[in-house]
Amino acid sequence: MESSILTFILEQAFGIFALICTVVSMQLKKKRTLMIYQTASEAFAVAQYFVKGAITGSFMTIVAFIRDLVLTKFDKKRAPLCFLILLYTVMTILVIISWSGPLSLLPFIGSLIFAWSLWYGEVKWIRLGDAVGNSPYLVYTLLTGNYALFAMTLLEVISAAVGFIRIDILGKKKKKATRKRKK
């Protein structure tokens, strides 16, 4: 009994830390810092899945962790295209291995979208890719009845959308207005 309570507390703590790192990352302007927070989020998510005993989730998240770790190294330039192709290949193999029907396509498609935005490397596209790529996860979590993960993913999508609007749309308008006043 005491062990199951500790396991539950660890699962929730790792999940909360993952969520905090992701939400904070979407509000950052520098790619390197954003990627460091994303990598930390994936590490906490891996720990959460392992504690929960969700091995398939652990494997997909380990791939995301490695993806983020590698892409953090490419702060000023884009990673080679062969890395994206390798990433897509690994994700495809994992979805085939863990296939449980057409519903499996939702997280797969979301992962493909977000992986592309991370590979592309511009922070505004990372934020947009996070919001768009996590949208299929929202549907997936609802249909699978994982309401806690739905709430976390919804917060992540909202954070990414707010960051995109606040920094990439409104921030650019402010810069343009400031430049016009200086002239």
Domain annotation covers residue 179: no
CB 81 within 8 A of CB 65: no
Q: Judge whether residue 150 has pLDDT over 60.
A: yes
What is the tens place of the pLDDT at every residue in 77-112?
Answer: 889 999 999 999 999 998 898 888 888 888 889 989
Owning domain of residue 31? 2-173
**In-domain check, residue 99:** yes
Residue 183 lies in a domain: no
Q: pLDDT tens across 35-69, in order?
A: 999 999 889 988 887 887 766 667 778 888 898 88
Distance CA 39, CA 134 (A): 16
Query: Model's pTM, two decimal places?
Result: 0.78
Burial pattern 37-59, b for ≥16 Cβ within 10 A else e, equals bbbbbbbbbbbbbbbbeeeebbb
Q: What integer is the mean pLDDT of 137-153? A: 81
Residue 31 within any structural domain of the chain:
yes
Does residue 124 sit within a domain?
yes
More confident call, 177 vs 102: 102
Rg (CA), the chain: 17
